[in-house]
Structure formats: C-alpha cells, structure tokens
C-alpha cells in the first residue's frame, strides 16, 4: 500500500531543491568571484631588497604591502590580492583585464621617495610630512602640476627653507626617487607658511595624477625586484572559464548517466544529491568570499568524483545487504550504517592532505586546497544525510518494491 505521507514529503523535498536551485543559481553566478586566470588580469611576483633606510624584516614587508595596496587602490581595482610569500616575496594579483600590465608595474615599482633639498643639497623635508597631493593646473602658466599640502611640522620646516632662499635666486630642488623634477626659486620677501607647495614640470595631467597618487600612498620602505609577471587577456580568461565549465558539465553528465544505468533508482537519487552538493559548495564559496580559479575548478571537479564515490560505497553496501536476504527497507538501513565508516575513513585522509596544502601552499595551490576541503566536507554531508533521507523516503512510499530497481 502506498504511503502518501512519504510521497508528499518526497515531492515537497524535491520541490524545495528545485526552488533553491532556481533562485540560488542566478545569485551564485552574480556573486562568485573569479580569479585573474578566469577573467583576465595581471600577476606580479616581487622580491624585496634591503635599502639604506630599511632592512628586510616583518615590519618593512607589512609596510611595503600596505603602500602597494594603497597604490593598487588608486587604480580602482576591486579587491586585489596582495600577499606575502615566504620571507621576502610579495605576490600581487590584479583581476581586471582592463588594466595595462606595464601601467601596473610602473605604479607598484616606483619608490616614490619625495625630498626637498636645502641650499647645501641636504634633505630638508621628505614626503613623510605630506598630508595630501593632487593633480592641478598651475595658476601661473596653466600647465599640469602636483599640489602638495604639508602637516604642521612640515609647514614649519618649509617656511624656514623658503625664508633662507627668498630673493637669493637659489632654487629648492624637489626630488622624486633621486630625480630632480622641479627647482623653484622664491621671490624676495616671500615666505610660504601655509605648508602648500607646487611641483611643476610633471608632464601631462595624467602624469601629475600618477605622481600625486604615488605621493599619497607613501614611499616604499624596500626596493622591489620583479621576478615574474603574467598578463591574462579577457578573451583567454573567458575561454578558460568556458572550457572548464564544459569539462565539468560533461564530466557530471557522464557520472549521472553511469549512476542511473548501474544503480537505477539510487542512481537518480545520487544525481539529485550531486545537484544539492554543487549548490552547497558554490554557496559556501560565495559566503566565504573565496576567489574561484582554474585550480579551484579542478578541485571542485575532483570532489564531484569523490561525492559519487561515497554514493557508490553506500549503494554497493545496500546491494550486499539485500543479496544476503534482507528486505529493501532493512537493507537500506544496514547499508548506510556499514558505509559511513568507510566514507569517513577515506575522506579524512583527503582532508588531511587538503589542510596541509592550504596551510603550506601558496597561490593556486591554496585555491585548489580550499575547494578540495570544502567539497569533501559537503560531499560527506550530502552522502550521509541528504542521500540517506531521499532513499529512505523513496523506500517508505512503497511505490518501489522490487529490488531490481536498486540494481540487485
């Protein structure tokens, strides 16, 4: 006799899954963050070198990363990846295909040490006393310039400096990264006390904006040597994404076909569980604000196979129990109990590897490890709880009574 309560529960469950997929997929597509290998961008690996002003240590590396972050922010790039690698290396990923790699390198590689020299050629004032810098047109000749504003200490030093050279014709060289970019003189009787100065001869207004941005972000504490640079175009990134999705979809299709052919009704249940599994994995990645990369997709596809493995173990145990003379209902119950230990044992070893890769790996390896760990955890949840719930509901409906529909 058909149990209509179980039928209704099964229908409601499947409807909820369908509704969740219908509403979640557009949100996931919109919110998931793609790495530069999927949407294009610039990858730069830098090595920090000691300078006369600073040794390579934790504080200097943190300061350098902060300055680099401020400079990348000037580009208007959303959430760039700027991370330390090892003792003295810094990795930068700008996932924005519109950015020119050379412009990015020019921006991050400039030291941006600003100095005002006194008549003896010694540094009287540095960019450390700068409070603001912006690109303007000079009111005297209408040419592009950089307007500077100094703090109170800098303003006092600058006032004394202008007083000492006023009317003498001796210039105040303004030096950026060792290059004199402006040498203004001060007229007789003029003392600049408001802490405002102008850098002239900076080229175009775009150059003035770039210099102003560099000065606002501050000087780099360390010298940076370029070790590696890669640029991924938007077309290549789009092709990589499409090929990855095609490979993943094709693999999923073959897996579903295999499961249905060999395991019949349980295979259909496994396909539903796989759909739930994928939704949960993608929702988790979006919730963690994780960036999906090509290695991450590889990890995701790998965990699809592992999720199927868990279902295969369960269904084989159920078939063994039924062949040993148990009924369909008791065979399902015993099969799940026997399979759980095996599933946990096999996945724990994979989780250990995933955690080690995430802890000690860098860049793409960490992306692979993150999707691997998330995928394995969710595959266990869907196999042990979701698949079990659906299979038990199917059996409880009494619609399917023959063990042939369970591949026995």
Residues 26, 59, single domain; the answer is: no
Residues 319, 191, single domain; the answer is: no
Distance of alpha carbon 290 from alpha carbon 284, whole angstroms: 9
Residues 162, 180, single domain; the answer is: yes
Residues 269, 383, single domain; the answer is: yes
Per residue in 305-337, pLDDT tens?
888 888 888 888 888 988 888 888 888 888 888
Distance of alpha carbon 66 from alpha carbon 71, whole angstroms: 9
Distance of alpha carbon 319 from alpha carbon 279, whole angstroms: 29
Among residues 230, 265, 300, the one where a domain terminates is 230
Residues 282, 310, single domain; the answer is: yes
pLDDT at 94: 79
Look up the domain containing 195 and give its range. 112-213
Q: Rounded mean pLDDT of 37-61?
A: 80
More confident residue, 208 or 16: 16
Give one DSSP letter per residue of 105-164, joined into a string.
Answer: HHHHH----EEEE-TTS-EEEEGGGEEEEEEEE-TTT--EEEEEEE-HHHHHHHHHHHHH
Rg (CA), the chain: 32
Sheet holding 89-94, edge to edge: 81-85, 89-94, 41-49, 223-232
pLDDT at 98: 65
Q: Please, what is the average pLDDT of the chain?
A: 82
Beta strands 33-34; 291-292: pairing state: parallel
Give the model's confidence band at 363: pLDDT under 50 very low, under 70 low, under 90 confident, else very high: low
Question: Rounded to the nearest 5°, which phi and psi values hold at 297?
Answer: -65, -40
Residues 330, 246, single domain; the answer is: yes
pLDDT of 80 > 80? The answer is no
pLDDT at 19: 92
pLDDT of 114 > 80? The answer is no
* DSSP secondary structure code for residue 385 in this structure: I
CATH number at residue 332: 1.20.1640.10
CATH number at residue 197: 3.30.1360.200
Question: Which helix (H) or strand (E) element contains residue 42?
Answer: strand 41-49
Distance of alpha carbon 252 from alpha carbon 368, whole angstroms: 19
- Show the beta-strand stretches assigned E in 233-319: 291-292
Least confident of 90-94, 182-186, 234-238, 247-251: 234-238
More confident residue, 386 or 187: 386
Q: Rounded mean pLDDT of 194-211?
A: 81
Residues 238, 373, single domain; the answer is: yes
Residues 395, 279, single domain; the answer is: yes
pLDDT of 77 > 70? The answer is no
Q: Rounded mean pLDDT of 4-26?
A: 89
Residues 52, 26, single domain; the answer is: no
Per residue in 135-181, pLDDT tens?
888 887 788 888 888 888 888 998 888 888 888 888 888 887 777 77
CATH number at residue 82: 3.30.70.3400
The number of domains in the chain is 3
pLDDT at 101: 67
* DSSP secondary structure code for residue 84 in this structure: E
On the 0-12 / 13-18 / 19+ scale of CB atoms within 10 A, 187 is exposed
Residue 359 contacts residue 347 (beta carbons within 8 Å): no
Give the model's confidence band at 97: pLDDT under 50 very low, under 70 low, under 90 confident, else very high: low
Least confident of 2-6, 32-36, 75-79, 103-107: 75-79
* Alpha-carbon dihedral sign for residues 228, 231, 236, 242: positive
pLDDT at 171: 86
Residues 322, 243, single domain; the answer is: yes
Percent of the chain surpassing pLDDT 90 = 4
Residues 368, 317, single domain; the answer is: yes
Residues 203, 78, single domain; the answer is: no
Please name the residue that has the structure tokens 């972050």.
69
Q: Rounded mean pLDDT of 379-391?
A: 89
Best-predicted range by mean pLDDT (14-18, 38-42, 306-310): 14-18
Question: Rounded to the nearest 5°, which phi and psi values hold at 185?
Answer: -110, 165
Give the model's confidence band at 280: pLDDT under 50 very low, under 70 low, under 90 confident, else very high: very high
Q: At what angle do helices 294-323 and 364-381 cross, to 10 degrees?
A: 30
pLDDT of 361 > 80? The answer is no
Among residues 176, 199, 230, the one where a domain terminates is 230
Distance of alpha carbon 232 from alpha carbon 273, whole angstroms: 36
Q: Which two tokens stand for residue 363?
A: 């860049």
pLDDT of 197 > 60? The answer is yes
pLDDT of 287 > 70? The answer is yes
Among residues 179, 201, 230, the one where a domain terminates is 230
């Amino acid at each position: 006799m058909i149990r209509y309560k179980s039928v209704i529960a099964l229908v409601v469950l499947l409807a909820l899954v369908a509704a969740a997929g219908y509403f979640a997929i557009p949100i996931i597509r919109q919110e998931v963050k793609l790495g530069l290998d999927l949407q294009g961008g610039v990858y730069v690996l830098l090595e920090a070198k000691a300078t006369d002003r600073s040794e390579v240590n934790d504080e200097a590396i943190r300061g350098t990363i902060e300055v680099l972050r401020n400079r990348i922010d000037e580009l208007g790039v959303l959430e760039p990846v700027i991370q330390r690698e090892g003792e003295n290396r810094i990795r930068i990923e700008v996932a924005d295909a519109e950015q020119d790699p050379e412009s990015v390198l020019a921006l991050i590689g400039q030291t941006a040490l600003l100095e005002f020299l006194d008549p003896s050629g010694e540094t009287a004032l540095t960019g450390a006393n700068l409070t603001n810098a912006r690109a303007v047109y000079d009111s005297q000749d209408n040419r592009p310039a950089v307007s500077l504003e100094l703090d109170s200490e800098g303003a006092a030093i600058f006032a004394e400096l202008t007083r000492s050279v006023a009317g003498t014709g001796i210039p105040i060289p303004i030096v950026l990264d060792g290059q004199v970019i402006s040498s203004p003189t001060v007229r007789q009787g003029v003392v600049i006390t408001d802490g405002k100065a102008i850098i002239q001869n900076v080229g175009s207004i775009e150059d003035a904006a770039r210099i102003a941005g560099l000065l606002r972000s501050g000087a780099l504490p360390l010298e940076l040597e370029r070790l590696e640079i890669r640029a991924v175009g938007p077309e290549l990134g789009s092709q990589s994404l499409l090929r990855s999705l095609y490979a993943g979809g094709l693999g999923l299709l073959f897996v579903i076909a295999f499961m249905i052919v060999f395991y019949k009704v349980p295979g259909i249940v496994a396909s539903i569980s796989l759909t739930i599994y994928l939704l949960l994995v993608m929702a988790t990645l979006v919730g963690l604000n994780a960036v999906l990369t090509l290695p991450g997709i590889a990890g995701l596809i790998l965990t699809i196979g592992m999720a199927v493995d868990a279902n295969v173990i369960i269904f084989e145990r159920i078939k063994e129990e039924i062949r040993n003379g148990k009924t369909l209902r008791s065979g399902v119950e015993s099969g799940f109990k026997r399979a759980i230990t095996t599933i946990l044992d096999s996945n724990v070893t994979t989780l250990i590897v995933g955690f080690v890769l995430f802890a000690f790996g860098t860049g793409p390896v960490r992306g692979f490890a993150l999707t691997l760990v998330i995928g394995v955890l969710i595959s266990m949840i869907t196999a042990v709880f979701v698949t079990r719930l659906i299979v038990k509901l199917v059996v409880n409906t009494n619609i399917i009574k023959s063990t042939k529909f369970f591949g026995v």
